[in-house]
Amino acid sequence: MLHHIDPDTLGPQGEHMTRAVKTCVHCGFCLPTCPTYKTLGEEMDSPRGRIFLMKNVLEGELAWSDALPYVDRCLGCLACVTACPSGVQYGELLTPFRAQAEAHRHRGLIDRLRRTLTLATLPYPARFRMAARLGQLARHARSLVPAPFRAMLDLLPADLPAARPLPELTPAIGPRKARVALLAGCAQQVLAPNIGWAALRVLAHAGVEVLVPRDQQCCGALALHVGEEAQARTLARANLRAFPNLADIDAIVTTAAGCGSGLRDYAQLFEGEPAPEADRAKAFAAHVIDIAAFLDRLGLPDLPSLPAPVKVAYHDACHLAHAQGVRVEPRALLRRIPNVTLIEVPNAGDCCGSAGTYNLDQPDIARELGLRKANALISTQPDIIVSGNIGCLTQIRSSLEACSPATPVPVVMHTIELIDRALQSKS
Ligand code: SF4
Ligand code: SF4
């Protein structure tokens, strides 16, 4: 328990926050798994150090400004949750702490501009597409762009695919085994629309009818990750209205680890809200499942062989492996593709540095983590690198290019795209 304050004064999520603090026994088992501790070597940049700092701020023993630089450098990757033998739910402390911190911050003009630009564009596909096109133009005058905005330009792909909106209904092929609603994913629709289409093809092949609710919005995870709880709740409310009655579907399926994790956070996000909405949020969150876990559970029919043998390296997205505990299922699906040899990557649980908007907010650490991840992947000499999160795919692709600018880099794609490629190779 926090010593000097009542959990009730911390708002509706106070119980979660105090439980996380109370459960930490300071053993330090989480330290070797924390990417920022491994990179910076500071106790205060470790999970144990950050819990200590947040506790002291909440008790009124430490100024917010003294703790925030360390809390800001946290990726929210939750590797510490996987490592913790005491079951500390670090995310349940970090997320509301970041939201409360916004009232105590003093941001400079450039920082405010960069943050506003990010939060006003990334979660909205039409705006993000327009901003990305402007960014591609601005890349030609990169040296004139203020330094804090350059990381945004560097992550943009050379070519932006054309918009390909998903149909509202895709019927199952053959007898219907399940009916799901799919989250289209905001940045993913712009950067890699094929992921959504591949998901529809594979799900239909597996006997699943797929609804794509027309009025759905960004899951809100990007906003929540950086403490903009009000924006996250507004987006979440729109999704609670847009998605069908839960009794009419078997699951809400996501193709991006960060979005899946964000939707599962709705239960905590609506705690303290009036009962009908809070209940819907809780039930909604319980229906959310990543596409790899869903297909593994449902059973995927036999897949045709890829035309030639390929070595595939699978990258664990933090918000799949650590936040949702999904590690085995994507590997099991990939092993079912004839002609695929799956390779394990050293330090598979380490974050690639993407982490929501982290690679925009903390570009130096993100770059270092990205290069480390790219080198680990390259060391396995894969033909193809797959992962289940658009943020990781973008970060890995740009880190691979930075690692070996002169040589061709392996193909980087979503897990579902590789399964779809096998399906397509039949025709
Ligand atoms: S492993 Fe868990 S209990 Fe131990 S220091 Fe880390 S968070 Fe605290
Ligand atoms: S969430 Fe990741 S970066 Fe943050 S303290 Fe835990 S392991 Fe370290």
Does residue 340 form part of some domain? yes
Residue 368 has pLDDT above 60, yes or no: yes
Does residue 83 form part of some domain? yes
Cβ atoms within 10 Å, residue 106 = 8
Domains: count for the chain:
2
Residue from 29, 43, 78 whose mutation best tests the ligand 1 pocket (most atoms within 8 A of CB): 29
Does residue 419 form part of some domain? yes
Model confidence at 406, pLDDT cuts 50, 70, 90, reads low
pLDDT computed for residue 137 by the predictor? 83
Does residue 130 form part of some domain? no
Does residue 161 form part of some domain? no
| Residue where a domain terminates, one of 104, 124, 145 | 104
pLDDT computed for residue 148 by the predictor? 72
Residue 279 has pLDDT above 60, yes or no: yes
pLDDT computed for residue 136 by the predictor? 84
| Residue where a domain terminates, one of 104, 124, 139 | 104
| Residue where a domain terminates, one of 104, 128, 162 | 104
Specify the CATH number for the domain of residue 93.
1.10.1060
Q: Please tell me whether residue 179 adopts helix, strand or coil conformation.
A: strand
Does residue 64 form part of some domain? yes
Q: Residues 33, 82: contact at Cβ < 8 Å?
A: yes
Distance CA 306, CA 374 (A): 25
Specify the CATH number for the domain of residue 307.
3.40.50.11810
Q: What atom in ligand 2 is closest to the CA of residue 91?
A: 1
Model confidence at 2, pLDDT cuts 50, 70, 90, reads low
pLDDT digits (tens, 9 = 90+) for 324-365: 999 999 999 999 999 999 999 999 889 999 888 888 889 899
Whole-number percent of the chain with pLDDT over 70? 97
Find tokens 């799956």 and name the residue. Answer: 342
Q: Out of 49-58, 74-83, 222-231, 278-287, which region has the weakest mean confidence (pLDDT)?
A: 222-231
- Would you give the DSSP letter of residue 139? G
pLDDT computed for residue 38 by the predictor? 95
CA 90 – ligand 2 centroid, Å: 8
Cα distances (Å, whole numbers) of residue 32 to 26, 36, 42, 77:
13, 10, 12, 14
* Mean model confidence pLDDT for the chain: 92
Find tokens 């960004």 and name the residue. Answer: 218
78 lines ligand 2 (CB under 6 A): yes
- For CA atoms 324, 328, 333, 338, give the dihedral sign: positive
pLDDT computed for residue 180 by the predictor? 98
81: Cα separation from own chain's centroid: 16
pLDDT computed for residue 30 by the predictor? 97
Residue 318 has pLDDT above 60, yes or no: yes
- DSSP track, 216-232: ----SHHHHHTT-HHHH
Residue 404 has pLDDT above 80, yes or no: no
Q: What atom in ligand 1 is closest to the CA of residue 31?
A: 6
Residue-range definition of the domain harbouring residue 353? 302-426
pTM of the predicted structure, to 2 decimals: 0.92
Does residue 22 form part of some domain? yes
44 lines ligand 2 (CB under 6 A): no
Does residue 173 form part of some domain? no
